[in-house]
Structure 1
């Protein structure tokens, strides 16, 4: 299936679109859960660094569509749903590292929680640093504590959401050169907040051995 996708699919910043599934939702759900569980079990049983590296960079070669076709329609609180969301977050970071790094930096300055620490990004975190962080988080799903990796992804998303919301306030107070910019930034903040909530829920389920 992956051979059908040769170039990465680029999303405009902030786009969290769904993908249409096949005609049999039950079959799609079964395939999504089976492939996610099999992949995770195989890599954890034999965590070959080259294999992990290929999995982390898989969407760079094949595009996010290749992952989406398998997992994007799965429940947000499921193993395939969790894997899909971390891959999606990595893709968004790599497509707009400047915007995400600025949002994360602003969010870190405004946050009153431990989220910036949990995310694990250096301070200050520039585009290169957030790209590296995205890779480390995804790497952690396959080789480290799965729940910790989900928590790190959720923390990054929450901090960045705070930053985008702050940037939206700034844009709203500025002149009307880009009248749609505040709404676009607010939408990104809301989507990232939703993503963070879903990832946190998955982390809690994993710790209770209830994420499948």
Structure 2
């Protein structure tokens, strides 16, 4: 198992070689699906903790660009699309853990759903806690119930989206010195809401064995 993962990418080299120079959209799509399926099936068949840890932290060392090139153009309701969105959510959290944790905490205060329970974040959830939750969710993709991991991520997105929307309302009323802030917060709320819907759809498809 370990021999299939080489420095510095930790992925089988042929996965990235297949993408290089690919201009045909059909070829790009095929590579996206092939790499997503290969990574997921290999790791889930033998979830070595070291390999899972390397995949979770892959973008910390190499950035999000390599993942984006492979999977960001895939359909939102596809396996590569789901993996891209999980990595994207983790990156968003790590880039602004303080802001996201504030929004998540506000979301838990104003939401009337069980999403905060589904997400599995501790209370209160500060920056360190939401960073750890992002890692836990991604580990679950590779070494747990895949649909449950997507559902946890979707629930987190919905709570944080609700929080950002609430913070935007506050900013509308009280932050005249920063006129762009309400719009920025609203955009983050909408983006997370869309992300949550896409991840939830992928979870449903996976449970019906229709996510590919």
Aligned counterparts of 1:122 and 1:80: Cα–Cα separation in 2: 29
Which fold has the larger relative contact order, with Cα–Cα distance below 8 Å and residues 6 or more apart in sequence?
A: 1
- Map of 1:151-166 to 2, 5 A cutoff? 151-166=151-166
Secondary structure class of the residue paired with 1:211: coil
Residue 3 of structure 1: CA displacement? Answer: 6.2
TM value normalised by structure 1: 0.90
TM value normalised by structure 2: 0.90
Secondary structure class of the residue paired with 1:44: helix
Q: Which runs of 4+ in 1 moved over 4 A?
A: none
Residue 40 of structure 1: CA displacement? Answer: 0.5
Aligned counterparts of 1:108 and 1:25: Cα–Cα separation in 2: 41
- Map of 1:46-195 to 2, 5 A cutoff? 46-195=46-195
Please report the RMSD computed on the Cα atoms of aligned residues, expressed in angstroms: 1.4
Uncovered stretches (5+) of structure 2, i.e. residues with no partner? 1-6, 10-20
CA-to-aligned-CA distance 1:39-79 (integer Å, 9 cap, x gap): 01100111110000000000000000010010000000000
Uncovered stretches (5+) of structure 1, i.e. residues with no partner? 5-20
Residue 184 of structure 1: CA displacement? Answer: 0.4
Aligned counterparts of 1:175 and 1:39: Cα–Cα separation in 2: 46
CA-to-aligned-CA distance 1:127-182 (integer Å, 9 cap, x gap): 00000000000000000000000000000000000000000000000141000000
Name which one, 1 or 2, has greater alpha-carbon Rg.
2
Aligned counterparts of 2:183 and 2:22: Cα–Cα separation in 1: 33
CA-to-aligned-CA distance 1:87-122 (integer Å, 9 cap, x gap): 000000000000000000000111111100000000
Aligned counterparts of 2:48 and 2:124: Cα–Cα separation in 1: 32
